[in-house]
Amino acid sequence: MPENGIPLVRIVLPLRDGGHYHTTAFRAGTRRETLVLRSGRLLTALCALIFAGAGYWRVSAASPQTASVGPIPSTQSSAATALVDRYCITCHNARVRAGGLLLDDASRAPVAANVQAWEKVVRKLRTGMMPPAGMPRPDAATISAVVAALETELDGAANASPPGGPMVHRLNRAEYQNAIRDLLGVEIDGRAMLPGDSSDQGFDNLAEVLSVSPALLDRYLSAARKISRLAVGAQTTPDSATYQLGKNWDQNARMSEELPFGSSGGVAVSHEFPVDGEYTVRVRLQTNIYDYILGLGNRHDMDVRLDGARLQRFTIGGPEHGAPPPVGYAGSIFGDAQWEKYAREADANLEVRFRAKAGRRVVGVSFVKDPSWAAEGIRQPRQIGNSLAQNEKIDEQPGVATVTISGPFKVDASGDQAGRPIFLCRPTAAQEEPCARRILERLARRAYRRPATTEQIETLLSFYRIGRREGRFEAGIQYALERLLCSPEFLFRIERASGSSVRSDDFDLASRLSFFLWSSIPDDELLDLAARGALGDRATLERQVKRMLADRRSSALVENFASQWLVVRNVRDVSPDPDLYAEFNENLRDALRRETELFVDYVIRQDRSVLDFLTADYTFVNERLARHYGIPGVYGSHFRRVTIADPNRRGLLGQGGVLMVTAYPNRTSPVLRGKWLLDNFLGSPPPPPPPDVDTSLQATGEGGRAATVRERLEMHRRNPSCAACHAPMDPLGFALENFDAIGAWRTTDSGKPVDANGALPDGTVLNGPVGLQKFLLAQREQFVTTLTEKLLMYSLGRKVDYRYAPAVRRIRRAAAANDYRWSSIVLGIVESTPFQMRSSGS
Residues in 356-395 that interact with another protein by CB under 8 A? 384-386, 388-389
Q: How far is the CB of 840 from another protein (least distance, A)?
A: 6
> What is the Cα–Cα distance from 95 to 89, expressed in whole angstroms?
10
What letter would DSSP give residue 738?
Answer: T
Q: How far is the CB of 574 from another protein (least distance, A)?
A: 8
DSSP codes of every residue in 785-810: HHHHHHHHHHHHTS---GGGHHHHHH
> What is the Cα–Cα distance from 250 to 258, expressed in whole angstroms?
17
Restricting to residues 296-355, name those near another protein by CB under 8 A: 331-332, 334, 340-341, 344-345
- Which of 549, 547, 569 is CA-nearest to residue 559? 569
CB burial of residue 524 (10 Å; 0-12, 13-18, 19+): exposed
Which residue from 123, 254, 420, 483 is in contact with another protein, where contact means CB under 8 A?
483
Which residue from 11, 221, 777, 816 is in contact with another protein, where contact means CB under 8 A?
221
Strands of 300-306's sheet, edge to edge?
263-273, 359-368, 300-306, 309-316
Which residue from 56, 314, 423, 463 is in contact with another protein, where contact means CB under 8 A?
463
Which residue from 44, 404, 417, 555 is in contact with another protein, where contact means CB under 8 A?
404
Sole window of 146-154, 489-497, 614-622, 793-801 interacting with another protein (rule: CB under 8 A)? 489-497
Restricting to residues 782-841, name those near another protein by CB under 8 A: 840-841
Q: How far is the CB of 402 from another protein (least distance, A)?
A: 7
- Neighbouring residues of 26: CB distance < 8 A, sequence distance ≥ 6: 5, 6, 7, 8, 32, 33, 34, 35, 56
- Beta carbons of 399 and 301 less than 8 angstroms apart: no
Q: Does 214 bind another protein (CB under 8 A)?
A: yes
Strand partners, 621: 640
Sole window of 105-113, 159-167, 530-538, 556-564 interacting with another protein (rule: CB under 8 A)? 159-167
The H or E element that residue 302 is part of is strand 300-306
Report CA 403 to chain centroid distance, whole Å. Answer: 29
Which residue from 256, 402, 417, 833 is in contact with another protein, where contact means CB under 8 A?
402
Q: How far is the CB of 393 from another protein (least distance, A)?
A: 14
For another protein, give the closer residue by CB, 95 or 803. 803
For another protein, give the closer residue by CB, 25 or 480. 480
> What is the Cα–Cα distance from 146 to 598, expressed in whole angstroms?
40
Q: Does 292 bind another protein (CB under 8 A)?
A: yes
Sole window of 235-243, 432-440, 803-811, 817-825 interacting with another protein (rule: CB under 8 A)? 235-243
For another protein, give the closer residue by CB, 210 or 557. 210
DSSP codes of every residue in 568-582: GGGGGT----TTT-T
- Beta carbons of 399 and 285 less than 8 angstroms apart: yes
Which residue from 410, 496, 538, 705 is in contact with another protein, where contact means CB under 8 A?
496
Peptide bond connecting 408 to the previous residue in cis, omega within 30 degrees of 0: yes
Which residue from 664, 717, 750, 818 is in contact with another protein, where contact means CB under 8 A?
664
For another protein, give the closer residue by CB, 390 or 764. 390
- Neighbouring residues of 432: CB distance < 8 A, sequence distance ≥ 6: 468, 473, 476
Which residue from 17, 139, 257, 291 is in contact with another protein, where contact means CB under 8 A?
291
Q: How far is the CB of 674 from another protein (least distance, A)?
A: 17
Sole window of 208-216, 539-547, 630-638, 677-685 interacting with another protein (rule: CB under 8 A)? 208-216
Sole window of 105-113, 166-174, 304-312, 635-643 interacting with another protein (rule: CB under 8 A)? 166-174
The H or E element that residue 752 is part of is strand 752-753
For another protein, give the closer residue by CB, 585 or 779. 585
Sole window of 302-310, 412-420, 453-461, 815-823 interacting with another protein (rule: CB under 8 A)? 453-461
Report H helices in 335-375: 337-345
What letter would DSSP give residue 293?
Answer: B
CB burial of residue 215 (10 Å; 0-12, 13-18, 19+): exposed
Q: How far is the CB of 94 from another protein (least distance, A)?
A: 37
SS3 366: strand
Restricting to residues 556-615, name those near another protein by CB under 8 A: 574-575, 577-580
Q: How far is the CB of 247 from another protein (least distance, A)?
A: 5
Which residue from 105, 239, 336, 524 is in contact with another protein, where contact means CB under 8 A?
239
Which residue from 492, 602, 745, 802 is in contact with another protein, where contact means CB under 8 A?
492
Q: Does 698 bind another protein (CB under 8 A)?
A: no
Q: How many residues bind another protein (CB under 8 A)?
A: 82
- Beta carbons of 19 and 39 less than 8 angstroms apart: no
Restricting to residues 87-146, name those near another protein by CB under 8 A: none
Q: How far is the CB of 117 from another protein (least distance, A)?
A: 26
> What is the Cα–Cα distance from 286 to 607, expressed in whole angstroms?
44
- Which of 6, 28, 23, 27 is CA-nearest to residue 96? 23
Other C-beta atoms lying within 10 Å of the C-beta of residue 151? 19
Which residue from 18, 53, 246, 704 is in contact with another protein, where contact means CB under 8 A?
246
Which residue from 39, 66, 152, 487 is in contact with another protein, where contact means CB under 8 A?
487
Which residue from 238, 260, 647, 771 is in contact with another protein, where contact means CB under 8 A?
238
